[in-house]
Structure 1
Amino acid sequence: MKINKRHIIALALLFSSPAFSLPADYGRKESPDLTLWYDKPASQWEETLPLGNGRLGMMPDGGIEREHIVLNEISMWSGSEADYRNPKASESLPAIKELLMQGKNKEAQERMFSDFVPVQPETGNTYGAFQMLADMYVDYVYPDTGSVRSYRRQLNLDESVAYTTFTKGRTNYVRGYFVSRDKDVIAVHLKTDRPASLHFRLTLSRPERGILRKPCEGKLELTGELDSGNPQRQGVRYAAVAEVKLSGEKSRLRPQENALEAVSADEAWIIVSAATSFLSGEVYQTKAERLLADVTGKEECLNTLKQETVQSYRHLFGRTGVSLPENAVISTLPTDRRLEAFQKQDDPSFAALYYNYGRYLLISSTRPGSLPPNLQGLWANEPGTPWNGDYHANINIQMNHWPVEPGNLSELYQPLIDLTKRLVPNGEASAKAFYGENAKGWVLHMMTNVWEYTAPGGHPSWGATNTGGAWLCAHLWEHYLYTGNKRYLSEIYPILKGASEFFLSTMIKEPRHGWLVTAPSSSPENTFYVGTDRTPVSVCMGPTMDIQLVRELYTNVIDAAAVLHTDTAYTRQLKEALKQLPPHQISRKGYLMEWLEDYEETDIHHRHVSHLYGLHPGNQISLVKTPELAEACRQTLNRRGDGGTGWSRAWKINFWARLGDGNRAYSLLRNLLHPAYTPTTPSQHGSGIFPNLFCSHPPFQIDGNWGGTSGISEMLLQSQDGFINLLPAIPDSWTEGRFYGFKVRGGATVSLEWKDGKPQRVEITGGWNPDITLKMPGKVRRVLVNRKKEKPDDYMKLSLKKGEKAVIVFKF
């Protein structure tokens, strides 16, 4: 779309005030790796632009006559705490184990279907779901009846501000949208370049459980209570308050029965505050009103609100970034058309945009003191979100956090750490209820919510997986590897130990080899055939992913105990148990086995590839240490294929990056970035990506976004094998580029420039661990470290104090 130069000059003059300004690149050459933009309003929610501050969120559609803005608050959860313990479970467990020992998986599964399930409360749905906060509608009236020209919707990732701009008749309009991190409010700023030409009607509503107070003093207030599922318990209560502030000599604000009407304004602010009883307790309503008053009660606050928002956001976003070559033909297209063109023409800068967008989404959807991002991050547009919008602990909540540490956003781990701590008491109760009084420690199965649910899922075919807690513990340990904080390690050590105690007390010896295995369990959501009637079954002993997670957990507990100088006797038990775990097994056809037996899976293209956990995100399989197993993983991935749901494609990017195949990883990235629907069939959603770059399972699941972000990071830098590996999986078309601020294990920070696919200059800043090993690029002739020549061996050893820098230049 061509932008009129006079229109740009007029807008630039109009919005040059400190309170509000257009993005720096508006009307100039696009910043293709930092800008999402569109030349028309959103036609469905998956085209709207997400904004958030880690607690509050909004998604405006940029409508011209009527604008719909969906509002969110991360603790809008229905349901309540409940008891799901089933006394039949532990009573039936010996029989289930015995059937599995006899190879009677079908019979064991049938017994689990009847007995090894949670008892559902009779009162209602106590599990609950993440829900939207409210719908905000702005109906505009225009004094000029002329046509709309130069329409543009834009999200500037460098600012965390979205804009809608257009000309109607002779009047230029700009709307700005952002969510303040410091003031903790949602802001919509409206301006025009003609006095008294801004007229609109504002409403606030909710599809259910919302009561709108009669408008007064320029405010709309929506309150309600979500369904707890239990008449004896209160549900989450919430309050959302919107206030309108106008400027202009002729401006008037008139309350109506269920709306506020603004007339003849030069400028308007719509400020929204919200709070819930979940995060704020009984003072939630007072908190919402106080947050609002702190902004709207002082004119100087409004004048500096955007500037403060951008500054606070950039403190996080500006730490890290990626730039890749542009395709001059398609990199300047609107994002929806650029997404379509990406399937036909290569555009590396689009991958950079996707990486930067992933970090933007993380910063926007969680923060210390809040909750972890759920299946939809922070954003929902209905009371009943798909899959309850909860936390799936067999891949999804974990994938949400893969980019956190490498992306230099370490503090965003805090909500997940806090959630894991809260799960432990219920996890201890579930361990004894489902696995018997002799079960120690704590357990989490494949799903959880804000009410600390730890019981098995409702159907054993997918709900029996009991290594969710072990996987979360891997994240707790990963946070330590990047930060080196021993005080933190001492806080989480009991959690790690408790998770290991569960497996140490419940695993059994399988009959063929005497290996220690989990039982009963499953390989997440996958099934295999048994018997002459070829019955699909999921319940089994010791699936490969379970063993990998237990091996990793035991190893991490041993290492943590050594750092803290504690539990020598206990870690001796873990070391003995480690020797008895099953090894990785390779099938006769060369692929890594998913189960103890080489069962025939019902779908060789199944979306879960859980048995490659040891390749990624784990580090038990690598090209350097276990090349034979790495080759078996390659065979597994070739057999599985490159299809699957959105998040499945994202995980495969990471697998291929760990295998050092940049072109295959990039092929999977382009597969992930396949349009989820075509312009002619917008209601038919497939796997891939929506126009606003949300990942489509389908439907929308945000884990694929962060899995893809992680995959790009893994293509550019790896450190899981004990050394820094530069450009380990660089695609041929990424001939040149740069990244800055990437973190590696040990806490060091790495920035890199490359050309012709080879590193040219790398800057490493020391972290908590001074001992750094750098793998030398192939065919390097000369190496300069801080301008001093060094011998180009296969590996270079560096010793850097925290904050100390080394600049390394490679000559080929």
Structure 2
Amino acid sequence: MKNKKAILKLLFLLPLSVLGQTKPSLTLWYDEPAAQWEETLPLGNGRLGMMPDGGIEREHIVLNEISMWSGSEADYRNPKAAESLPAIRQLLLEGKNKEAQELMYTSFVPVKPEKGGTYGAFQMLADMFIDYTYTVPDDSVKNYKRWLDLEESVAYTAFTKGKVRFTREYFVSRNKDVIAILLDSDRPEALSFRITLSRPERGKVKKQNEGELEIAGMLDSGNPGQDGICYAAFAKVIPCGTQSQMQTHSNGTIEVRSADKAWIIVSAATSYLAGNIYRTEAQRLLNDATPPNSLMHIKEEAVKSYRKLFTRAGITLPENKHCAGLPTDKRLEAFQQQDDPSLAALYYNYGRYLLISSTRPGSLPPNLQGLWANEPGTPWNGDYHTNINIQMNHWPIEPGNLAELYQPLIDLVKRLVPSGEESAKAFYGPDAKGWVLHMMTNVWNYTAPGEHPSWGATNTGGAWLCAHLWEHYLYNGDKQYLADIYPILKGASEFFHSTMIREPEHGWLVTAPTSSPENEFYASKNDRTPISVCMGPTMDIQLVRELYSNVIEAANILQTDSVYASDLQKAIDQLPPHQISSKGYLMEWLKDYEEVDMHHRHVSHLYGLHPGNQISPVKTPKLAEACKQTLERRGDGGTGWSRAWKINFWARLGDGNRAYTLFRNLLYPAYTHANPTQHGSGTFPNLFCSHPPFQIDGNWGGTSGISEMLIQSQDGFISLLPALPDSWDEGRFYGFKVRGGATISVEWTDGKPQKVELVGGWNPCLKLKTPANAQRTLYNGKEINTEEYIKMTLKKDEKVILTFHY
């Protein structure tokens, strides 16, 4: 029995590929080291991250910590903004958008803080380099492979050099909260290497103890008189083997010779999350992870902790035998020539993996790069763009059964409210109530407009984030949580209720000044000046309508604010309706302006189709058709995240084949082996999304799109396989969540659901649309009437099995 247990334990620790069980929908793999950072494999525990390149002679591992932010909290209020607001609005009311925009360029912008401080940027933690020394006589390398096992959250590198097999394992433990690397060889005394830590700036390395290095520093606060974020990271090397030797040099290197294997454990902390004890906390984490004999179980415990989240949900789709076994980079290129459905399953499972890896309760939300950066100055500051990007980061969380990963976003929004109240009054006058957030924010609670009104004037960022707070309630049904967030929702609604004005032609209530995110139009045929500043663009109105509706419903549930809820309902009745142009597409602005770029990447005015639910083929077929015409007009191109959003749009329209076309466009290789320096929109070899450059929101937009193709619940009922592509004729998904909290698993063949398992959530009332052409329906084995909808009452955790016969 003991031997059997030992064998089972060994099997648990071995990677699937070693066991000959590599799964195309659960493994990324490559047959050579990473040549660029976008080929390295991301690992993380929601706070710490690393990306190893699998180099043979020299290995580069980029280390990350999610709160590595430069900058500091600062006052960006501009007293001229509120003073100029009446004039700006009057110009807009007179149809003088150009003049209004010019005035905004000089007055309605944030000002440089008088007391210092700067916006800052998300930054890398450090570089780790491992230089290997090989003593084998035969210098050739054979059977090289590196891979990421999504079932374990462990990456591997393996190769044979001479007659020695070298393997490396990399993981970031959730429970121990450290980075771990195991270097191994199948012959005694074959492992020799040297490790160094470094950073391009603001990092000093020193010997801490024997076999232990520290890198520490302070990031720029933007204020010479104020400390920035301080950080400390420790790397400890633990060699194994009777002949192993280790020496730690004062210049910040550790050398190991003649080891059988070696562990490298890295801990880190910052003053942002840990306060003044950040260095002590980093040292504590390292010590707790590395007492004698503790490393025997560190991987087993790390995998177990990760699997509690990952195994809740997943997808299996048909395999193309010609493609499924290819290395992931070559598989990605082949996908443009031939179909490979299981690549979509891999992409979905990878998306959930990335979420689990990049955020956790008590941490920060995933930023524009998740938690992975390879430089001090990340693109777009690696911040939180609130006109689509941070929202897209969170689309898969609830359907993907990862509800607790919402907590960092909820906490971030709570921290933004006081700053948002100040910005409301500073930019919109003393009569402005509530709080406002424009199109970007950071860990320093930035809520002012962006520095250029053409893109920075959008002021519905707070309304959009409130939609996420409400969505979280729809899935968990926790009234205590609803009472906690209700003041935030109400405050956001109060801002719009107190600042919207009436446009002159119809008397509609509109936002002003504002913009439709990052898009431009021509105000007239004679003046070809690109204009952004406007009144009441469609997305603004959709968001305000949704926000008001959610506040009304929340007030009713909590039995509070009945008078205010009544006022909001009256305001809803005075908002502009959706408008369809004479050419059949949904209008983006109050007037049917000509776009500067008809194929612009933002399709913000379709927010009501997705992620909102104001437009659907079921409830508003004419508007749904107008959305379709809009998408046809915009085309299937765009940046990475834009293609991802369009997958969701087409899925909501019920067109699975078109959604799949957009998925293939999203997975267009950002570069190929033939042209490795020409980065375009699409997907990098490690399946990171390319804007370009790397921007992770497209990954989660694509993950969400796959989910929307398989199940939807936004119209008040559960729709199974609502946008299934023809080539996904069979498959299975399990553990998906729907609004109301129920959990759904489905098996299908010939494109038709055969078996459906439902587990009750907080809302006992379930309504499921019967699959088309179903002739017989069995409910827990007993036949029931086959009607258009199946209505059920399920207690929480009560299970029902439905089977359909055609």
CA contact (8 A) 1:515 1:582 kept: yes
Partner residue in 1 for 2:88: 96
CA distance 1:185–1:19, change in 2 (3 Å): farther
Structure 1 segment 218-617 matched on structure 2, within 5 A? 218-256=211-249, 257-299=251-293, 301-531=294-524, 532-617=526-611
Whole-Å separation in 2 of the counterparts to 1:551 and 1:694: 35
**Counterpart residue identity of residue 298, structure 1:** P
Aligned match of 1:168 in 141, 145, 161? 161
Maintained 8 Å contact 1:445/1:464:
yes
User: Which stretches of structure 1, 4 residues or longer, exceed 2 Å deviation after superposition?
Assistant: 14-22, 24-27, 121-125
Q: Distance in 2 between matches of 1:384 and 1:336?
A: 27
Which of 553-562 and 246-255 deviates more?
246-255
Distance 2:116 2:490 in 1: 35
Q: Which residue of 2 aligns with 1:65?
A: 57
Structure-2 separation of matches of 1:675 and 1:213: 41
**How far apart are 1:15 and its partner, in Å?**
11
1:32 paired with 2:32, answer: no
Partner of 2:761: 767
Does structure 2 retain, via aligned residues, the 8 Å contact 1:15–1:21?
Answer: no
Give the CA deviation at 1:123.
6.9
Instruction: Write the deviation string for residues 496-554 of structure 1: whole angstroms up to 9, x where unpaired.
Output: 00000000000000000000000000000000012422111000000000000000000
Question: What whole-Å deviation, never above 9, does each CA across 1:10-60 have from its counterpart, x for those lacking one?
Answer: xxxx99975994313425253000000000000000000000000000000
Q: How far apart in 2 are the matches of 1:439 and 1:579? A: 21
CA displacement, residues 627-679 of structure 1 (integer Å, 9 cap, x when unaligned): 00000000000000000000000000000000000000000000000000021
Return closer, same or farther for 1:592/1:729 CA change in 2, 3 Å cut-off. same
- Between 789-798 and 511-520, report the one with greater CA deviation: 789-798
Q: Distance in 2 between matches of 1:101 and 1:239?
A: 55
Deviations 1:222-265 (A, max 9, x none): 00000000112210000010000011111111012220000111
Aligned equivalents of 2:369, 2:418: Cα separation in 1? 26
TM-score by length of 1: 0.97
Match in the other structure for 2:616: 622
CA contact (8 A) 1:137 1:204 kept: yes
**1: distance between equivalents of 2:7 and 2:640?**
40
- The C-alpha deviation readout for 1:272-311, integer Å capped at 9, x for no partner, is 0000000000000000000000111231x21110000000
**Equivalent residue, structure 2, for 1:797:** 791
The CA distance in 1 between the partners of 2:282 and 2:22, in whole Å, is: 38
Answer whether contact 2:458 2:516 (CA < 8 A) is retained.
yes
CA distance, structure 1, for counterparts of residue 123 and residue 114 of structure 2:
22
Q: 1:15 to 1:468 in 2, by over 3 A?
A: farther
In structure 1, list runs of 5 or more residues that go unmatched.
1-13
| Ranges in structure 2 where 5+ consecutive residues have no aligned partner | 1-5
Distance (Å, rounded) in 1 between the aligned partners of 2:7 and 2:685: 28
How many residue pairs match? The answer is: 798
**Residue 729 (structure 2) aligns with:** 735
**Residues 210, 247 of structure 2: 8 Å contact kept:** no
CA–CA distance in 1 between the matches of 2:441 and 2:374?
Answer: 21
SS at match of 1:764: strand
Distance 2:444 2:756 in 1: 46
Aligned 8 A contact 1:215 1:259 in 2:
no
- The letter for the 1-side match of 2:388 is I
Residue type matched to 1:779 in 2?
A: N
Amino acid at match of 1:523: S
Matched-pair contact (CA < 8 Å) for 1:215–1:260: no
Distance 2:353 2:620 in 1: 36
Which has the larger displacement, 517-526 or 254-263?
254-263
Superposed CA deviations along residues 118-157 of structure 1, whole A, max 9, x for unmatched, are: 0022676610000000000000001114211000001000
Q: Deviations over 1:292-331 (max 9, x none)?
A: 00111231x2111000000000000000000000001110
Aligned equivalents of 1:781, 1:44: Cα separation in 2: 55
| RMSD (Å) for aligned C-alpha atoms | 1.2
Q: Read off the aligned partner of 1:557 and give its amino acid letter.
A: V
1:15/1:22 contact within 8 Å kept: no
Amino acid at match of 2:345: A
Question: In 1, are the aligned partners of 2:192 and 2:256 still within 8 Å (CA)?
Answer: yes
Alignment check: 8 A CA contact 1:465 1:523 kept: yes
SS in 2 for 1:555: helix
Q: Contact 1:753–1:759 at 8 Å: present in 2 too? A: yes
Task: Please report the TM-score for the alignment, with normalisation by the length of structure 2.
Answer: 0.98
Map of 1:747 onto structure 2: 741
User: 1:57, 1:489 → 2: CA distance?
Assistant: 33
Write the deviation string for residues 410-444 of structure 1: whole angstroms up to 9, x where unpaired.
00000000000000000000000000000000000
Q: Give the match for residue 101 of structure 2.
A: 109
User: Partners of 2:760 and 2:105 in 1: how far apart?
Assistant: 53
8 Å contact from structure 2 (residues 74, 117) kept in 1: no
Mapped to 2, the partners of 1:585 and 1:317 lie a distance apart of 43
Percent identity, please: 73
Match of 1:605, SS state, is coil
CA–CA separation in structure 1 for the residues paired with 2:489 and 2:372: 31
Displacement of 1:113: 0.2
After alignment, is 248-257 or 595-604 more displaced? 248-257
- 1:34 partner amino acid: L
The 2-side partners of 1:277 and 1:600 are apart by: 50
